[in-house]
Amino acid sequence: MTDLSDPGFPAPPPLGVSALPAGTFDGEAVFVTGAGTGLGKAIAVEFARLGASVVVASRKPEHLDAGAAAIREVGADVVTAQCDIRDADAIAAAFDTATDAFGLPGILVNNAAANFPSPAEDLSPNAWRTVVDITLNGTFLCAREFARRHLAAGSPASILNVGASYAWTGGPGFAHSAAAKAGVKNLVETLAVEWGPAGIRVNGLVPGLFPHEDMTDDIRGSLDRTHDKDPCQPALRVGERQELGWAATFLASPYARFISGHTLVVDGANWQRRTLTNPPVVPIRDQLGLGPFENTDQVG
Ligand code: HXC
Ligand code: NAP
């Protein structure tokens, strides 16, 4: 049993405080995918607070508007670029929009991802393909477009891939996302070496549990079934969005110029094993409140 009199990790400094010197990103532009919601928005706002201009890239107009409003609120310049990161041409057009507005962005944050809980056996081929296509292929296509432009220009740059810790542990109920995130994490290592000589750093950033108001209904539902989230973390609390923003801005900053090929996990040690044996096994269908598997594809 968790002793709730234990203090756990203290709360972080409040939202709005920056970890890096003011103006660290003056004159720079950062391209953030999925910056209109949740953690992408929090990361983008932290760059903006430190002087960066921001490109908010995603599919839905309401998300683009929300991201732009959040950046303007902290007094930074922003442009939105509607694109589906599964579409290489749309990504190229988004980088054109960004470059017209601010010059070629020096930082890319590959934050956009897709996810919903499902037992693996229930996933249709298209459901699997959709999550892998957005999370892994989309991340690669954005990195490729960004790097090609910097390689041609001979300019240094920095890429951050947002991951998830089930890249290492596996993710029951999230087979598609966990497999895709394992690919995203592996890309960090390969691309850091391939593009290092050209001055392009590539790092990963893995959030632990960071609940926020924009979570999709599916993810929120899964989270709501997980009781007592705070005492289930070694830190005895979940993450606060500014903690991710500080980590992201550090990794992309001049103070991290010798860091590349690294994935930083910001999760209060939640993914490490903490007992000699694990808790009792609860089948994933039971965790998701589902009945027995029925193969509706079977004929006869
Ligand atoms: C089973 C589902 C499903 C669900 C969709 N599908 N939702 N299958 N359970 N809940 C299936 C569909 O039936 C379809 O397959 C296929 O997936 C594609 O669905 P579409 O709706 O056509 O896809 P699309 O419009 O491209 O939307 C993608 C999406 C959607 C992933 C389904 O949820 C989305 O746009 N999400 C973006 C935001 C997001 O996912 N954020 C979560 C990030 S959080 P068929 O066979 O019927 O054609 C994260 C880590 C959280 O990654 C960590 C946990 C705490
Ligand atoms: P979120 O609010 O659902 O954000 C996902 C974003 O991705 C949305 O803004 C969405 O914008 C964008 N997106 C999805 N599909 C896209 C596509 N095809 N093209 C372009 N943009 C697309 O989720 P979040 O919780 O902030 O997650 C952000 C990142 O953190 C993800 O990589 C996620 O895997 C990771 N993560 C989160 C947690 C957590 O606790 N929240 C934990 C571990 C990892 P549009 O709908 O407008 O396209």
Which residue owns the Cα nearest ligand 2 atom 39? 210
Q: Which domains does the chain have, with CATH numbers?
A: 29-287 (3.40.50.720)
118 lines ligand 1 (CB under 6 A): yes
SS3 letters across the chain: CCCCCCCCCCCCCCCCCCCCCCCCCCCCEEEEECCCCHHHHHHHHHHHHCCCEEEEEECCHHHHHHHHHHHHHCCCCEEEEECCCCCHHHHHHHHHHHHHHHCCCCEEEECCCCCCCECHHHCCHHHHHHHHHHHHHHHHHHHHHHHHHHHHHCCCEEEEEECCCHHHHCCCCEHHHHHHHHHHHHHHHHHHHHHHHHCEEEEEEEECCCCCCCCCHHHHHHHHHCCCCCCCCCCCCCCCHHHHHHHHHHHHCHHHCCCCCCEEEECCCCCCCCCCCCCCCCCHHHHCCCCCCCCCCCCC
Atom from ligand 1 closest to the CA of residue 164: 50
Instruction: State pLDDT tens for residues 211-256.
Output: 999 999 888 888 887 767 788 899 999 999 999 999 999 999 999 9
- Cα of 136 vs centre of ligand 1, distance in Å, is 14
Ligand nearest the Cα of residue 265 is: 2
Average pLDDT over residues 74-90: 98
Q: Which of 58, 165, 238 to probe ligand 2 with, by most ligand atoms within 8 A of CB?
A: 58
34: CA distance to ligand 2 center in Å?
Answer: 6
Q: pLDDT class for 7, splitting at 50, 70, 90?
A: confident
Nearest bound ligand to the CA of residue 138: 2
Centre of ligand 1 to C-alpha 34, Å, is 15
Q: What is the pLDDT of residues 93-149, one digit of tens each?
A: 999 999 999 999 999 999 999 999 999 999 999 999 999 999 999 999 999 999 999
